[in-house]
Chains A and B, each alone.
Chain A
Amino acid sequence: MRIVVCVKYVPDATGDRHFAEDLTVDRDDVDGLLSELDEYAVEQALQIADEADDAEITVLTVGPEDAKDALRKALSMGADKAVHVEDDDLHGTDVMGTSLVLAKAIEKTGYDLVVCGMASTDGTMGVLPALLAERLGVPQVTLLSEVSVEDGVVKGRRDGDTASEQLEASLPAVVSVTDQSGEARYPSFKGIMAAKKKPVESLDLSDLEIEADEVGLEGAWTAVDAVVERPARTAGTIVKDEGEGGKQLAAFLAERKFI
C-alpha cells in the first residue's frame, strides 16, 4: 500500500506572526515548524502501515527551502521517503493552487491512500483534504477521530456538530484526521539519525507540468486587498476577589445588559 501524507511547514504560532509587504504571510521573520495537526496525520499513517503487510509512506510538502524541516521531522517519526515541491513561482499560491500542485505531485508519486491533518495551524481553512479528493476523483473520508484500513477499505469515525458518523470507502481515498485520533509519537534518536539518510526528492512546476500562471500570487483565485493589525485590547478592569468578586462581576454584567 502506497501512503502519501501531506504536511505543511507553518510559522510558529507562539512567535510573532505577520504579513509581508505583498500581503502574503511573512515566512522569513518567524521560525517555522511542521504543523502540529499534521503530526497526527503522520502518526495515523505509521499505525496504518504497521497493520499492513507491505506499506510505504511518502511525506509530501509544497513550500520554500526551509519546508524541508517539516519533511525531516516526519521522516524522523518513521516515514520512508519524502517529496518536496519547491519553485520560486509558487510564492503567494492560495489553497486552490496548492491543492492543484499537491494533486499532481500525489499522482506522480503514486498512491493508494492520502492522509492529511484536519487543517493547517496557520490558514486553518480545513478544506484542502476535500479539494484533493475532488481533484483526484476519489472518496473523501475526512475529519476522522479514529481510522483503520483493512482489505482495501478505509473506515473511520467522524464527530460532527450534530452527529457522530461511521464512514467507509474503498481505496484509493483521501483521509483527514483530527487531534483526537491519537497522540503523535516523538522521534527517537535512532529515528532522527535514520531520517538523515532517507531520500528527499525535489520537484518543480515543470516536473508536474503546471504553468507558472496557474499558481503564485498572480495566478491566485483569491486576492487579499487589506491587512490590518487588530488593535491591542485596551486594559480592562481587574479586581482581586476579597469576598465580593462574584457580586462585583454580576454588577459589571448587568451594566453591560447581559443580565
Chain B
Amino acid sequence: MAEVLVYVDHVDGAVRKPTLELLTLARRIGEPVAVALGSGAEATAGTLAEHGATRVLTAEAPEFADYLVVPKVDALQAAYEAVSPAAVLVPSSAEGKEIAARLAVRIGSGIVTDAVDLEAGEQGPVATQSVFAASFTTRSRVSKGTPVITVKPNSAPVEAAPAAGAVEALSVSFSAQATGTKVVSRVPRESTGRPELTEAAIVVSGGRGVGGAENFAVVEALADSLGAAVGASRAAVDAGWYPHSSQVGQTGKSVSPQLYIATGISGAIQHRAGMQTSKTIVAINKDAEAPIFDLVDYGVVGDLFEVVPQLTEEIKTRKG
C-alpha cells in the first residue's frame, strides 16, 4: 500500500487534535508516515502510533524554532524524497498552509487547501472544500505532481488504529533560505483553559449585542457550562471587547464545530463565512430580522442578558 506523509502539528511533543484527524483521513488513501519536527518530536510517537502512523520520522534542530517556516519545509522535503509518498497531508493552520505551499513549489506539485473531507479517487485523493462563505461545495484534486493537501480541523473523527509507529531519525540539510527570517522572540499565548477555537466541538460567540468587554463574562459563563470555546464577531473585536485571536469570520478564524451558539450577532456575510459549516447553529438576538436567524436550527428572539444566564443555569442544573 502506498505511503502518505502526514505533517505533525505539536507543541513540545503534545500532538494537536487536527493532526490526529488527519491520520484518520490518511488511512483512507494509504499508510500514514508521520513527520514530527522540533523540540519534543520523538515524544509524539506514542500518540501517533495509537492513531495509525506506521512510521514516525523525527528531526530536532534549533533552526525549527529560531527561523520561520523554511527549515520545516526543508525537513518535509527531505521526508518526501526519502518516502516518495502518494500524497502529503498538512493541517490547515496558517503555518501549515505556508509549509505545504512552499513544498508544493519545490516538488512541482499542485496544492489544495482547507479540505473538509478527503477520499481516495481513481486519479488520486479527492478533496471536498466549502467555498464562498460555505454557499458551495467543491470536489477538487491535484492534477500535477504528488498531491499536497491541507485539511481543516474537525474534518474527520479521531479514531484509534494502533500501528507500529517506528521512530526513525530524519536527516535534514538546511537550505540557504532556511535562516532568512529570524524569530527574534516568542511569547506563548496565555491559556484561557478553554478548548482552542478552531478545534472545539462547541463554540459560543458574542457580537455587537454583547455591548462591552465586561459583558463577555456572560458569554464565557455559558461557554464554560458547555466546555466550549469562546469566539467573537469582527464588530466585537474591532471595538476592543475581545482579542483578535478569537475572531470568527472571513478575516478571522473559520470554525466548524458540532454546535455553534451566536449571541448578540446579527450574522453579516463576513461572519457567516467563518461559521456556516457548523453542524448545529443556535442564535440569541433581540432583532427578529437579524440575518443569522436564516441559518439557525434553533433561534431565540430576546435579550441575551436574560436568555443566556437562564440557559447557563439550566445547563448546570441538568448536568447536576
Contact = CB atoms under 8 A, between A and B. Distances in A.
A158 B280 CA distance: 33
Contacts of A158: 68
A238 B181 contact: no
B39 interface: no
Contacts of B111: 95-96, 127, 221-222
A253 B250 CA distance: 27
B221 interface: no
A179 B307 contact: no
Given A13-B133, A131-B102, A223 B300 contact: no
Contacts of B296: 233, 236, 238
Interface string B287-320: 0100001111111111100111111111100110
Interface band, chain B: 35 or more
Contacts of A19: 136
B314 A247 contact: yes
A249 B245 contact: no
Contacts of A170: 180
Contact of A223 (B137, B140, B186, B315): B140
A127 B100 contact: yes
Given A95-B111, A130-B98, A245-B306, A258 B258 contact: yes
Given A138-B177, A245-B310, 14 more contacts: A94-B110, A124-B114, A126-B113, A159-B244, A167-B181, A167-B184, A230-B134, A237-B299, A239-B298, A240-B288, A240-B301, A240-B302, A250-B315, A256-B259
Interface of B: 11, 68-70, 73, 93-95, 97-98, 100-102, 104-106, 109-114, 126, 130, 132-145, 177, 180-189, 196, 198, 202, 226, 244-245, 250-251, 258-259, 269-270, 273, 280-282, 284, 288, 293-303, 306-315, 318-319
15 contacts: A17-B135, A118-B251, A161-B94, A161-B189, A164-B186, A164-B189, A166-B185, A167-B183, A221-B145, A238-B301, A241-B301, A241-B303, A245-B311, A246-B308, A250-B314
Interface of A: 13-14, 17-19, 23, 36-37, 94-96, 99, 118, 121-122, 124-127, 129-131, 133-135, 137-143, 145, 155, 158-170, 173, 178-180, 220-230, 233, 236-241, 243-250, 252-254, 256, 258-259
